[in-house]
Chain A
Amino acid sequence: MIRKLLSDMRSWSFWQWATLGAALLFFVLLVLPLLNLVLASFRPSSAWGPGGTSFIGTYVEFFSYRYYYSTLINSFLVSTLATLFALLIGFPLAYLVNRIEFPGKFLVRVAVVLTFVSPPFIGAYAWILLLGRNGFITQLLKSIGVTLPSIYGWKGIVLVFTLQAFPFVFLLCSSGLRSIDQSLEEAAINLGRTRLGALWSVILPLMVPSITTGALLVFVTTFADFGTPQIIGEGFRVLASLIYSEYVNEFGGNPRVASTLSVMLLAVTIGALLLQRAFAKRYAYGQEAIRPLGVYRLSPLGTFVAALVVYTIVFAAFLPTLTIIVSSFLKSQGPLLLPEFSLQGYRLASRLPLAFRNSLVYVTTATLLCVVVGSLLGYIVSRGRGRLVAAIDTMSMIPFAVAGVVLGIALSITYGGPPFYLAGTGALLVLAYFIRRLPYTVRSVSSMLHQIGVQQEEASINLGVPPARTFLRITVPQVTPALVSGALLTWATTAREFNSTVMLYVGQTRTLPVEVFTQVLQGNFGAASVVGTVLIVTTLVPILILFKVFGEDEDVLV
């Protein structure tokens, strides 16, 4: 049997080899590390180590000690609340922006883009600058005798998560709204419903897939987020922060406990993904609008209220970024920011160049890898057939469900030590970025190819151009714009990557987001703002190119 396979392989074509290579790649970079992680959580260390000699020892301990299991409850609490609030903000915002006429809608785009380009925890730090003990607004209100409730703890986490995540809901709901035909609403009104009644009885049910996808995205990203709770939580510990402190511990950390916790996190995020899939599938109608839902006019008062609601949300979303940028130009003394403009922060940012250079090198390398490997894989997935291709397709979906923290630990325990010794190298970071973003490239290439269809390739072959040249002349030119815009997006997204970086970096390989985080934790708010501003600009540039040159809009960000 093996001999037959080997003799078959001798006559394999390029694409068959590429398919095998792709499957191996996913196995080595993704399946193996995750397997390793799961195994590590079950591997008894020593009689007095954590978990003892029992296979499920660490799991038993997790559910026996409040210190452990409370983090799971906390994570569920903040993520559920954040999801709920993000839906409550995101959906109405999408409806108002897409359906009601009022001026200044482009501000919503700006706000959405800005929340996207700032790294996840930067909001936490900005809100501390505004509402913290010495916060700008806190001081302002104190001077007129008003005391605000504390921003620290779960309330602050939920606030930051909500503002960080509602754009996802907004974008998904907006595109969901655009897929509903105007005639459906007209039919509902014609049959005696009010417009609000039509929203409730027709539009909302049709949007279940978009809404649940948005909810899932919010839940999964916030559940696995580590930076925000660390900065604004002040002792309110979630699962992700526990993983971090167990793994990156002054006493060397404990891989088995960290693995156990990671498996738990993995289980929750995969569970949420499967739940949403099943749910959305039942409510998916595969509709397409010939004439999408239109815009209508409200009474002057109604328009005013609608605009006010939208502007308020936009302002709240915009505020953290504004705070960071403004404060980066303020004079600072440790945690104190003085009301005096200065470029001191930029001049004295001695730690900035290395972090900037690291980010540039790692992110660019990972992006290039993504483009090359991703387009190859995209072609295989969309044009190939057979069990191996199906396996690749499935494996390429895994990174969607694997949180950065988890991937970081999995890669670290698999390739950090012997025989690879990649711990503390930039290579490990590049691998993590590469594997995390690969699915997006694969998906965009394969859907692009799917859209182009095979008929154009066939037409070309039929007209006399052999397959390889057909690929170059017909397929490549059409996929290139998608590839380049995909690369820009990958670049922007990876530049702000934090959750897996924090598990894998050492001083010499620190990136911009890590540097912001370090400065915040050390209380150097001025320096943090400077690095944060550089990071915001770094991620904003490719996004702007994407919009201006490639005519994309904010929909590409989800």
Chain B
Amino acid sequence: MTLTKRVIPCIDVDLDDDGNPAVYTGVNFEDLEYTGDPVEMAKRYNEAGADEFVFLDITASADGRETMLDTVSAVADEVFIPLTVGGGIRTKADVKETLRAGADKVSINSGAIANPDLIDEGARAFGNQCIVISVDARRRFDENGEHYVDVDGESCWFECTVKGGREGTGLDVVEWAREAESRGAGELFVNSIDADGTKDGYDIPLTKAVCDNVTTPVIASSGCGSPDDMYDVFTDAGADAALAASIFHFDEYSVEECKRRLDERGIPMRR
């Protein structure tokens, strides 16, 4: 089988003080730093060999949404690789307008937790392949979970959170992933609140727990500090794709360099 593993840069897009879309990147959990123009960054990553591109709208405002969709279109017109767009998608109409703007897939997070039928409706209307369910997982060591794994000798489950990890939902990530898959999700996008911003590597137990329990492709996210972290999440957890932001945005590693290192270590890569 020669299906390659995918390396995916992700940009968080907000409006700057003048109301123009701009990429912001979190630095050590604190301030967001201005990182660049979304279209220019998409072009750069495309040229560097990115396998897909993820665009997250973090404006969370109705005014911002129009501008964001125009930016999605501008990116889609320049970048001839698959484009996933997420952020604030809550209704079938949101899905439709995002796809119309030029997205190939939409990433839905809390909108699907609030209304799981959105997954079924979206998959039926637009196809499973374009419905990506995104979770913000947090490690929990209490008795309230359904699916436990061993993490450093302790029994741990993973909870779906909303509002950037500030609010728990009580929902077990593995159970939710199974449900999302059975409802028609075409891909699962797994973020870790614990690993986010650490650059200590992906949350392997979390990613592996999801990969072991679904057949849908899994995109691992949060915590990437180097191509070796990508290697680990591909081989130890079974992820299909590895997403990263700051290592690319701050030029610590280029997409090209990551793919070359992974290729050298025997991971099938698109050239």
A and B: real partners? no
Residue numbers of B with Cβ under 8 A of A are none
